[in-house]
Amino acid sequence: MLDLFAPIKCLLQKESVRVDNVVFRLHSRITVLLLLVCTILVTAKQYIGEPISCMTDASIDKDPVNAYCWIYSTFTVSRHLKGIPGRGVASAGVGQALPGDEARHHRYYQWVCFVLGLQAISFYVPRALWGVWERGTISLLSRDLAKQQLVEYFTKTNLHSHNFYAMRFFVCELLNFLNSIGQIYLLDIFLEGQFRRYGPMVSAFLAEESPHERIDPMARLFPKVTKCTIHTFGPAGSVQTHDALCVLPLNVVNEKIFVVLWFWLVFLAGVGCLAVIYRIIVFSQAWARVYLLRGAVRRLEKSKAERVVRVFHFGDWFLLHQLAQNVNPIVYMELVNEIAKAFTTKSFADFI
């Protein structure tokens, strides 16, 4: 089974250079990995079996019935969603449909794997965009330049030239947040308005002491047994109606996948919102940048940190802060002290 996931092992490899943060990686690596695993699971017939298997009278071949019901959808009757299977109903949602009963047709199952794959692509887009915009800057600075060259880079040759670099990263963080919100609403549309409340409803149902007295939200959205009506022509040319009982083994996986996705997307939206607020505060407030710089460099005097932040624009500080993840802490401490020392010269008197 592990061979199924061989194509996505690259997402588990450790990056030699880090150009983002934890929240960014939650969106662009962990979420993409989760969605790709789910996509592979719902297409793995050797472990789940055929997506649909229908039973009807012997006058119709089974394979055409399976194909017809998969293409033209199956349905459940809302009135039969309550009750204990095998007693009052054959299965949740399966029973005789009377005039006036609400029949819920299920048409979206064949699209689940495509939707999950498109979601994975949409979560990877900000990462790909940042890779294009970043252009190996951190790799160049952390690997190919000596300490004195880095000091000159930040204090002379490229001072005050990194605001656009920092704003591009902020745009990617904003895209991560907006994408997680958008995915919740898109899945709600895809699942016919039943996704937004799916997680809380499943949690409440599982916590219920007498769950058979309530409608199972998983059976409503992803029924495992459904009905299908087939119309054929008899020997005399008259229309004949056949009822089929269809088993959907794939929904055993689908119902769990979308419960996990609901909680994960809500979590991503929450941390993504906090990341955007954090970035706005850091870029707009000098005291926050001083605090973070002292946190990255142990035993850094407050006056030196304030001096660096006062001269640097927020983009310069951001690039310097990114380097902290990729160089030796001792080297980084020496680099910050050298930059602070360079800013004590007369040429920077106007900034201090």
Which pLDDT tens digits describe the chain residue by residue (352 residues)?
A: 555 555 666 666 677 788 899 999 999 999 999 998 888 888 776 566 678 888 887 777 788 888 888 887 787 776 666 666 666 666 666 766 666 666 777 777 778 888 999 999 999 999 999 999 988 888 888 876 777 888 888 888 888 888 999 999 999 999 999 999 999 999 998 888 888 888 888 888 777 766 555 677 787 888 888 888 887 776 666 677 777 888 888 888 888 899 999 999 999 999 999 999 999 999 999 999 999 998 888 888 888 888 888 888 999 999 999 998 888 888 888 888 888 888 887 555 555 5
SS3 2: helix
CB 222 within 8 A of CB 255: yes
Burial class (CB in 10 A: 0-12, 13-18, 19+), 148: exposed
Q: Where are the domains of the chain?
A: 2-282, 285-345
**How many CB atoms lie under 10 A from the CB of residue 91?**
20
d(CA 341, CA 273): 37
SS3 89: strand
d(CA 224, CA 218): 9
3-state secondary structure 211-261: HHHCCCHHHHHCCCEEEEEEEEECCCCCEEEEEEEEECCHHHHHHHHHHHH
At residue 48, the pLDDT reads 65
**How many CB atoms lie under 10 A from the CB of residue 96?**
12
> What does the block give as tokens for 12?
């588990």
DSSP state of 66: H
pTM for this one? 0.85
d(CA 152, CA 221): 61
Q: Is the dihedral of CA 269, 272, 277, 278 positive or negative?
A: positive
d(CA 127, CA 147): 29
**How many CB atoms lie under 10 A from the CB of residue 150?**
21
How large is the C-alpha radius of gyration of the chain? Answer: 29
- Sequence-distant (6+) residues with CB within 8 A of 126 are 24, 27, 28, 172, 173, 175, 176, 179
- Report the length, in residues, of the chain: 352
At residue 10, the pLDDT reads 61
Burial class (CB in 10 A: 0-12, 13-18, 19+), 187: buried
